[in-house]
Amino acid sequence: MIDRFMQIALDARNIDRPNGTGVASYARALADAAERGGAQVAWLREDASPQAMASRHTASAKAVRFASALLGRSSVAVRTGARNDMLSDDIFRIAHVHFKIFGKLLPVRTDNPPDVMHWTCPLPVRMEGCKNIVTIHDLIPVLRPDLCDVSPHHMRRMLRSVMSNAGEIIVISDSVRQDILTTFPIGPERIHTLHQGVGISTELRKAAEKAGDVCPAGSFIYVGSIEKRKNVGRLIEAHGRSQTTRMLVLIGPDGYQAQEEMSAIGRHPHPDRVMRLPWIERPQLIRAISTARALAFPSLAEGFGLPIVESMLVGTPVLTTQGGATGEIAGDAAWFVNPESVDSIAYGLERLSADDALCERLTSAGYARAVVFDPAHYERRVADLYAQIMSNG
């Protein structure tokens, strides 16, 4: 149990963004686990109103941001609201500009700092007067720069600074831990694997049951952004090659090179069998996964694989990539494919489309595997981690 007077601060960089991200889900799960464990949780926030977010893209806002970063001074995080959240407007963009100019993390100070500042993803910021720790979700921009639009040089440089400043480093899979140890000169004792807790509440399950169907039952479902890293183009091509009559439903917003990935529909022999839903409500998403034939998730690179666990929780079979984080998260409860082989993905779709016994076996194995990510277990591990951090002095 965490000391009930212990205060953990988290950055709201991702949870305040529209439509959410995998990091946002992680941040919310972390906050819930810390609060259930007894800690007081505060957030470092920006003004997330639509007007404020829109204004940050103006030329004048960019000029002010550059001037603020150029001063190189500490930003002041002012406590506000009943939760003792901290507000420092545009801090995250200013921090990135500051890092580009000086190559250093932007120091942030507050009159009453928390016990621990837990950055939920690498950001070029540090909180003065407390312990700083950081979660690193993956090294994709460094190891696979061809799959994203982030500068590998910039990311490597920032990660070095972030890890040098952080007392402890949290990763969400052993795969990412090994990547860090192989890529950076850092002691293994400072890196802790903490698989994300994943659960679907009773309330959400009930809401999902009442939600209307947004796609045909028995479809293959893909959940995630439409981008090169996610291998959506090969998935579409494999679906066409498999000759299954089941629909392929792609659920998620546009990402890096989305148009190029979606162009594969033009090569599909039955393009009407591919359905795109850029965004749906959470209950509708859980219902869509629950009524699917299988999750199709042949990603080229991941740090975790949240849709894999969510599919297992509702009894939906999983097709995913062998090895790496997806193989680690799925355990022995998935049909594994070579993500760079359209034939391998197509064969997996064919098997799952026609073989009821295989699907039943994967469903049973999935239920058993999902227990590893039980939120109660995650809560205990989070409490142990924070207790260890505080005891280290």
Instruction: Check residue 71 and give its pLDDT.
Output: 74
Distance CA 300, CA 324 (A): 9
The whole-model pTM stands at 0.93
CA-CA-CA-CA torsion sign (160, 12, 304, 231): negative
291-313 pLDDT, tens digit each: 999 999 999 999 999 999 999 99
Between 393 and 320, residue with greater pLDDT = 320
- Can you give the length of the chain in residues? 393
Instruction: Check residue 170 and give its pLDDT.
Output: 97
What is the pairing mode between strands 78-80 and 85-87?
A: antiparallel
Angstrom distances, CA of residue 2 to CA of 37, 40, 169, 385: 6, 9, 19, 9
Angstrom distances, CA of residue 252 to CA of 143, 249, 257, 266: 24, 10, 14, 19
Position 58 pLDDT exceeds 90: no
CA-CA-CA-CA torsion sign (68, 74, 80, 85): positive
Distance CA 39, CA 50 (A): 31
Q: Please, are residues 68 and 31 in contact by the beta-carbon 8 Å criterion?
A: no
Q: What is the mean pLDDT of the chain?
A: 91
